[in-house]
Amino acid sequence: MAETNETNKTNNNQVDTNNSSGTKKNNSFLLKFLLIQLIVIVVVGFTTWHFAVISTIKYIQNILNFSRQTVKEYIFSEFGKTSTEKKLIVLTQDVSVEISRDKDKRILDDWLSIGSANLKIKFIDNKVQYFVPLDEIKDSNFIYDAESRTMKIECPSVRLDKEMVFIQSDPNKVIKEENGSLNPFGPKLKDLDKEIMSEIKNRILIEGNKPLIREKAQIEARIALENLFNKVLGEFLRKEDVKLQLIYP
């Protein structure tokens, strides 16, 4: 009977030992599982943070790249596609001028006059034009403000075109008043006419460069430049949410 009790105690001790061992194994597995979960959370969190940082850096780089290259390259590319002209004509203006010439031909040390002649010609509706030199718009004229997302463009000043001057030739708009010499040795009207014609272009330019006309040209130049840039860049600027600011001299 005593042996039987001893045997039962031994068996109970073995069961307790097995239960304890099983509990330890379960606890170890739980700790490992929790540790793995913690590692996953840390890794995922770090990856997310790292991705956010990389995305921010790329965004900043895109802004810098946008300001330094993309816009300028696009603008010059579009200018090349849309216009091969070096001049943006902003104003064509009619001007009228009147030129007079008088000549008194004398001999004997200016003591004796042998005749005089005078000629006055009025040229109506001659034309001058003002332009903006597009070929002077260089890379350095473009300044991008990333903070306000504004593209600033420094524009050249408007110019009076000295190469393109229309001199009126319609007889109905070229009015002459002449008084020639009766003396065949006196001054000739054709000589006075040549003098006037050699001066007409310069006189038209002087008339076309007067302050009121120049102010009008400056206003028209601003309108023409805004229309040009909006036509060439409008879609691109709207897509990129960029404002346009033109700077005039």
CB 232 within 8 Å of CB 142:
no
Domain ranges of the chain: 1-71, 83-247
pLDDT score, position 140: 81
Q: If you average pLDDT over residues 68-94, what whole number do you get? A: 72
Per residue in 117-131, pLDDT (tens digit) is 889 999 999 999 999
Q: How far apart are CA 95 and CA 161, in angstroms?
A: 14
Look up the pTM and report it. 0.66
- Calpha distance 124→168 (Å, rounded): 7
199 pLDDT exceeds 90?
yes
Distance CA 227, CA 247 (A): 14
Q: Take residue 188 and report the two structure tokens written for it.
A: 């000739």
**89: helix, strand or coil:** strand
Which residues, listed in sequence order, are joined to residue 180 by a DSSP beta bridge?
Answer: none
Question: Distance between CA atoms of 19 and 22, rounded to whole angstroms?
Answer: 5
State the DSSP code for 172. G
Strands of the sheet containing 150-154, edge to edge, are 142-145, 150-154, 243-247
Continuous segment of H or E residues that includes residue 214: helix 211-240
